[in-house]
Amino acid sequence: IGSVSGVFQWNGSVFRRFGPATSIEGITQTPDGSLIFLTANGLFRFVQNQFEPFPTGKAVNYRLDLLADRDGGLWMATIGNGIFHMYEGRLDQMTRVNGLSGDSVLSLFEDREENVWVGTDRGLDRFRDLPLTTFSKSEGLSSDAATSVFPAKQGGVWVGTARSEEHTSEIQS
């Protein structure tokens, strides 16, 4: 459990505190089972009950969401700087300049077909083996701001938008 005062593990009867007393802003688990934490002080990997810095090779202000995909890639959301994707030691940044729907990333999700969905302040983007597909108001969403993404039982995704007076959109993948 990530909180403003660190990381806690619940064993069924008691909480145990780990790591630095810093705000935990995101947690993700890599395919090998290790945990990566997004804190106010950067990224950390949890190894043998200890926190160690997780190097990205570039100072980035990650502040919203973190996702480790099934291929071993790490997706890092930012406010105003798009998204960063780290894979096999390479760090790439995607913004509106190179096709992302918006520069403020609000949500991340990987579906069962290994598509990574990125909700931004201006739309919804789908990454499939890195080609980018953007969904926004132009493609039928009720608003450009995709504030949440969740899997549909039939195989698509549910998309929550900033406008509540219209119905929720479902996109089939």
Which amino acid does the sequence have at 31?
P
b/e per residue, 46-75, with b = 16+ CB within 10 A?
A: beeeebeebebeeebebbbbbbbbeeebbb
Percent of the chain with pLDDT over 70: 86
For 32-86, write each residue's pLDDT tens digit: 888 888 877 778 888 777 788 887 766 566 566 889 999 889 998 888 989 999 8
Check residue 16 and give its pLDDT.
Answer: 87
User: Confidence band (pLDDT; 50, 70, 90) for 131?
Assistant: low
> Is the pLDDT higher at 19 or at 131?
19
> In the chain, helix, strand, coil percent, each to 5?
5, 50, 45
Distances (CA, A) of 159 to 54, 66, 163: 31, 18, 11
Q: Is the pLDDT of residue 130 over 70?
A: no
Residue 147 has a pLDDT of 87
Q: Which residues pair with 45 in a beta bridge?
A: 36, 52
Contacts of 142 (CB under 8 A, 6+ apart): 161, 163, 166, 167, 169
pLDDT for position 67? 92
Structure token pair of residue 26 = 């995101």
> How far apart, in Å, are the Cα atoms of 168 and each of 46, 131, 143?
38, 25, 10
